């Protein structure tokens, strides 16, 4: 391994800078050489992983983080580049990373959350969500396999048990692996047929979805839908009924019924509730039966929302969790729940939702600015936008930084 002479000083300056940046996960050190001559991982006192390399551009290219280089700032001789989404609200919250059925015992696969590559795998004891990085030479563990209830790195075969500890190094089979040969593990939970991960310390439980426990409701998972957009714009689109006659004409709205009636919005310490929003829909759910439905929306977390629309005894709910994959992409995971239409198949319901989502995606991706303006003077608002107004005010109050301006 070739180390620059000034490496210790460089490292010290980077660690000092890292300590001053709350949630720094990665940084790059600049140097004269255009190619990476060395890369090292070190842990700071705050247990954040730092990558050091001699070429920020090359580093960015390989890690797919060129956009983040715009955020780089020079600190002495070192460039600091925050490649993770470092919003404490999101770091300490739960996010969906996979459907449960996608990860059976003995299976392993990749996920990406808040700009962090994760490896997910299921041991006999349960699910693991780790940083997707082997401590030996940085290979992606998600390309590995599960053997004897251990995750085996694809490069030199190090075996990690489900605590994250390396327990076998094939090149030295009689050696006890060092204690620090341990993967960085994150909290993981399984709820509503979905796998949730938290990169920090979760402040709350996974948001509540009451219909999941209610046997009167059939549940259908839909998505995930990829948006090249940030979460707040996606959630606001989910909360918006005014676009139905234009974006979802013939499905959720009709150009002959464009008026949005008055409704009430309440903001509580737990989020937002908007009740009794009347909408005439040609096909509210994929069954093809038109109805004047009443919506109740709830914002449960900054990036998790819910609605239930009802018509007489018929109730149709959607729970929507948006995962911030990185600064550029999000995944929207939906759970549909309905207490009627037993003759409509899961596939039909999912196909209907696919159509609706495909109509929303290009609109949301086209919005500028991409960041949701929390200053209410920045865009025009109408009475019919009061759910969105409440959402923006609430995000400002709780201090969401990601996806907002
Ligand atoms: S990089 Fe994983 S065992 Fe070498
Ligand atoms: Fe929509």
CATH label of the domain that carries residue 137: 2.102.10.10
Domain shared by 237 and 99, yes or no: no
Structure tokens at 346: 């899961």
Give the pLDDT confidence of 297-313 residue by residue, as tens digits.
Answer: 999 999 999 999 999 99
- Cβ–Cβ under 8 Å, residues 169 and 160: no
Residue closest by Cα to atom 1 of ligand 1: 137
Q: Which domain holds residue 277?
A: 210-398
Q: What is the mean pLDDT of residues 215-235?
A: 98
pLDDT of residue 64 exceeding 60: no
Q: What is the mean pLDDT of residues 6-15?
A: 54
- Distance, CA of 284 to CA of 292 (rounded, Å): 9
Residue where a domain stops, chosen among 131, 166, 198: 198
Lowest mean pLDDT among 7-21, 56-70, 142-156, 163-177: 56-70
CATH at 366? 3.90.380.10
Q: How far is the CA of 36 from the centre of ligand 2 (A)?
A: 45
Residue where a domain stops, chosen among 24, 52, 83: 83
Q: Is the distance from the beta carbon of residue 139 to the nearest atom of ligand 1 less than 6 Å?
A: yes
Domain shared by 366 and 278, yes or no: yes
Domain shared by 131 and 258, yes or no: no
Q: Is the dihedral of CA 143, 145, 151, 157 positive or negative?
A: negative
pLDDT of residue 4 exceeding 80: no
Lowest mean pLDDT among 68-72, 86-90, 144-148, 339-343: 68-72
Q: What is the mean pLDDT of residues 358-374?
A: 97
Q: What is the mean pLDDT of residues 229-236?
A: 98
Q: How far is the CA of 158 from the centre of ligand 1 (A)?
A: 6
Q: Is the distance from the beta carbon of residue 158 to the nearest atom of ligand 1 less than 6 Å?
A: yes
Q: Of 127, 138, 134, 141, which is closest to residue 198 (Cα–Cα)?
A: 127
Q: How far is the CA of 29 from the centre of ligand 1 (A)?
A: 24
- Distance, CA of 49 to CA of 247 (rounded, Å): 44
Domain shared by 159 and 223, yes or no: no
Domain shared by 192 and 240, yes or no: no
Give the pLDDT confidence of 255-301 residue by residue, as tens digits.
Answer: 999 999 999 999 998 899 999 999 999 999 999 999 999 999 999 99
Share of the chain above pLDDT 90, in %: 78
pTM given for the model: 0.82
What pLDDT band is residue 85 in, cutting at 50, 70 and 90?
Answer: confident
- Cβ–Cβ under 8 Å, residues 245 and 350: no
Q: What is the pLDDT, as a whole number, of residue 9?
A: 58
Q: What letter would DSSP give residue 213?
A: G
Q: Is the distance from the beta carbon of residue 218 to the nearest atom of ligand 1 less than 6 Å?
A: no
Q: What is the mean pLDDT of residues 90-118?
A: 97
Split into its structural domains, the chain has a count of: 3
Domain shared by 233 and 339, yes or no: yes
Domain shared by 115 and 32, yes or no: no
């Amino acid at each position: 391994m070739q180390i620059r002479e000034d490496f210790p000083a460089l490292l010290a300056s980077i660690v000092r800078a890292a300590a001053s940046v709350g949630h720094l996960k990665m940084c790059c050190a600049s140097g004269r050489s255009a190619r990476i001559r060395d890369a090292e991982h070190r842990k700071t006192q705050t247990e954040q992983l730092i990558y050091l390399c001699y070429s920020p551009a090359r580093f960015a290219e390989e890690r797919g983080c060129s956009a983040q280089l715009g955020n780089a700032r020079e600190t002495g001789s070192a460039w600091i580049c925050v490649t993770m989404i470092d919003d404490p609200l999101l770091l300490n919250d739960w996010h969906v990373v996979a459907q449960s059925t996608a990860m059976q015992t003995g299976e392993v696969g990749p996920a990406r959350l808040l700009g962090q590559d994760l490896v997910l795998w299921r041991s006999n004891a349960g699910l693991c969500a780790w940083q997707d990085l082997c401590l030996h030479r940085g290979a992606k563990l998600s390309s590995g396999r599960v053997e004897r209830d251990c995750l085996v790195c694809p490069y030199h075969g190090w075996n990690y048990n489900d605590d994250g500890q390396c327990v076998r190094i094939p090149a030295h089979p009689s050696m006890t692996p060092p204690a620090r040969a341990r993967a960085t593990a994150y909290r993981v939970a399984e709820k509503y047929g979905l796998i949730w991960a938290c990169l920090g310390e979760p402040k709350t439980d996974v948001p509540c979805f009451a219909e999941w426990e209610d046997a009167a409701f059939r549940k259908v998972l839909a998505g995930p839908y990829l948006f090249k957009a940030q979460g707040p714009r996606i959630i606001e689109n989910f909360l918006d009924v005014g676009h139905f006659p234009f974006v979802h004409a013939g499905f959720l709205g009709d150009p002959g019924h464009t008026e949005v009636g008055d409704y009430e919005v309440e903001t509580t310490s737990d989020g937002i509730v908007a009740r009794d929003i009347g909408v005439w829909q040609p096909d509210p759910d994929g069954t093809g039966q038109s109805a004047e439905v009443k919506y109740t929306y709830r914002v449960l977390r900054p990036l998790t929302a819910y609605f239930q629309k009802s018509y007489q005894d018929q109730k149709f709910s959607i729970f929507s969790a948006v995962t911030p994959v990185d600064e550029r992409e999000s995944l929207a995971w939906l759970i549909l729940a309905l207490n009627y239409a037993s003759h409509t198949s899961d596939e039909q319901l999912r196909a209907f939702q696919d159509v609706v989502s495909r109509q929303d995606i290009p609109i949301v991706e086209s919005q500028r600015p991409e960041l949701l303006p929390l200053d209410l003077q920045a865009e025009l608002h109408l009475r019919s936008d009061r759910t969105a107004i409440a959402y923006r005010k609430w995000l400002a109050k709780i201090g969401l930084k990601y996806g907002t301006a």
